[in-house]
């Protein structure tokens, strides 16, 4: 099959790295794989041993991170991808689910790595509604964790294929540490983007504060460090190819996130011979076993985290047992699981019926919705969107462009609920007249429902 994954940009993030691994797996199974970047942004400086957290981006040039990390699938910019034809196009981050219908493909899928509503605060409920809208689209769903598969079924009525994450044992294995451990001292690694609230890096530093007999190292992809955080060694950002030495230098990873999908750092730590203290965040149950290969504490439980650290400091037998079992867990949780899952699900996906013809015009309108949500973030409209120009939108959907501007105006000016519902009804009428067929009107109502719910929350 000719398969394309659509990513927002060539960023050094956990979500991107998982997609890159999926690309390599599918290539190994004999498929033609392309990584399509929605935004063709690359760092100006060539990545070295340390990543600059304040790197600037250029609009031209080839992607840096993808090639630097040794991945081999074809990488395409958006213009090049639009000139191709694919058997299967797979959206990744929720915004790309609005973009993929601009590409030519036999089938369209959506790889969901978390409940991405959780990445936004309560006052960003328009974007949260946008995420919900993406989960209602007529797509083939793929996910990496059992809890996400269940969420898609329970809340959105979507069946999903499960392709579990794993660890790259060639990249993450015990190796020479950056610095030998000190006898009788527990070395704790704090990892995570310091500026991202749901990673709870600040809470992790509170947990280790003033505990004697431990040494704290800190590594973060965004380079963010508060003055009150006092690690014994600040490593800044590191490439994935450098992380094995970091993990091998430490005894335990302290990861207190409250939002995750199937987080890989604890599994990578296990693969390098260490153990972890994690929260009971969704996704931990995929491989973390309390008292067996790691310790699990409640989310935002500061005292629970402190007790866990002290316990591992004082109980060498427990620490050794957790490390031994963690290494065995990593050995049995590799990317071979994903390879086997793809071998089972791809023939089913290939034969699955996907009726998109009746809703074709509506699906072409999705990039306009996506662009309008982006405009809301800056509280202004732009004459030419990043995905479709206003002129194209008008010629393609007649009066729908004007109607959607009015919806955007509603969210900016807090129009009465009744007025909003009238406008949604007008849009529904246009869409229904364009996409004639049984069941179309009901589906359109379900697509628009998140926006109605958002209106109620704003009121």
Look at 75-79, 274-278, 289-293 and tell me which has the smallest mean pLDDT.
75-79
β-strands 85-91, 160-162 pairing: unpaired
pLDDT per position as a tens digit, 319-368? 999 999 999 999 999 999 999 999 999 999 988 877 665 455 556 556 65
Look at 4-13, 292-301, 420-429 and tell me which has the smallest mean pLDDT.
420-429
pLDDT per position as a tens digit, 382-437? 333 333 344 443 343 334 444 444 444 443 443 344 444 454 455 455 444 544 44
Phi, psi of 388 (to 5 degrees): -140, 135
Structural domains in the chain, CATH included, are 1-165+335-354 (3.40.50.2000), 186-332 (3.40.50.2000), 355-459 (no CATH)
Tokens of 434: 């364009």
**Is residue 58's pLDDT more than 90?**
no
**Is residue 239's pLDDT more than 90?**
no
Q: Which residues of 304-328 are buried (b: 16+ CB within 10 A; e: fewer)?
A: bbbebbeebbeeeeebeebbebbbe
Write out the H or E segment, with its range, that includes residue 369: helix 360-378
For the entire predicted model, the pTM comes to 0.77
Q: Residue 57 in contact with residue 43, Cβ under 8 Å?
A: yes
DSSP string, 165-199: --B-TTTSS----SSPPPTT-EEEEEES-TT-GGG
């Amino acid at each position: 099959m000719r398969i394309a994954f659509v990513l927002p940009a060539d960023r050094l993030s956990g979500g991107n790295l998982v997609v890159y691994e999926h690309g390599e797996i599918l290539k190994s199974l004999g498929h033609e794989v392309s990584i399509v970047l929605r935004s063709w942004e690359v760092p100006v400086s060539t990545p070295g041993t340390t990543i600059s957290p304040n790197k600037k981006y250029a609009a031209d040039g080839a992607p840096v991170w993808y090639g630097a990390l040794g991945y081999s699938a074809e990488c395409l910019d958006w213009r090049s991808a639009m000139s191709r034809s694919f058997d299967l196009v797979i959206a990744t981050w929720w915004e790309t689910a609005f973009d993929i219908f601009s590409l030519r493909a036999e089938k369209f899928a959506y790889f969901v790595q978390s409940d991405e509503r959780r990445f936004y605060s309560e006052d960003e409920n328009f974007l949260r509604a946008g995420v919900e809208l993406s989960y209602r689209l007529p797509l083939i769903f793929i996910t990496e964790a059992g809890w996400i598969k269940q969420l898609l079924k329970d809340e959105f009525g979507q069946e999903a294929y499960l392709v579990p994450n794993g660890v790259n044992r060639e990249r993450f294995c015990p190796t020479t540490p950056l610095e030998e451990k000190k006898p009788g001292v527990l070395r704790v690694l704090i990892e995570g983007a310091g500026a991202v609230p749901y990673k709870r890096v600040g809470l992790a530093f509170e947990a280790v504060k003033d505990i004697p007999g431990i040494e704290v190292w800190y590594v973060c992809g965004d380079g963010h460090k508060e003055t009150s955080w006092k690690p014994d060694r600040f490593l800044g950002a590191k490439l994935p190819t450098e992380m094995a030495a970091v993990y091998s230098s430490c005894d335990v990873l302290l990861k207190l996130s409250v939002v995750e999908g199937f987080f890989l750092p604890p599994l990578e730590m296990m693969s390098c011979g260490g153990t972890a203290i994690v929260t009971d965040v969704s996704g931990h149950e995929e491989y973390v076993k309390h008292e067996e290969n790691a310790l699990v504490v409640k989310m935002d439980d500061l005292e629970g985290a402190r007790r866990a650290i002290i316990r591992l400091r004082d109980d060498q037998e427990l620490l050794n047992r957790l490390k031994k079992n963690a290494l065995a867990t990593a050995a049995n949780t590799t990317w071979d699981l994903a390879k086997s899952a793809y071998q089972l699900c791809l023939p089913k996906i290939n034969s699955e019926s996907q009726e998109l013809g009746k809703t074709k015009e509506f699906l072409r309108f999705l990039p306009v919705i996506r662009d309008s949500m982006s405009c809301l973030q800056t509280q202004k409209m732009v004459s030419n969107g990043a995905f479709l120009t206003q002129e194209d939108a008008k010629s393609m959907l007649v009066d729908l462009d004007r109607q959607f501007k009015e919806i955007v105006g509603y969210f900016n000016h807090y129009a009465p609920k009744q007025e909003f519902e009238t406008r949604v009804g007008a849009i529904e009428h246009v869409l229904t007249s364009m996409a004639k067929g049984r069941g179309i009107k009901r589906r359109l109502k379900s697509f628009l429902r998140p926006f109605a719910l958002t209106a109620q929350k704003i009121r």
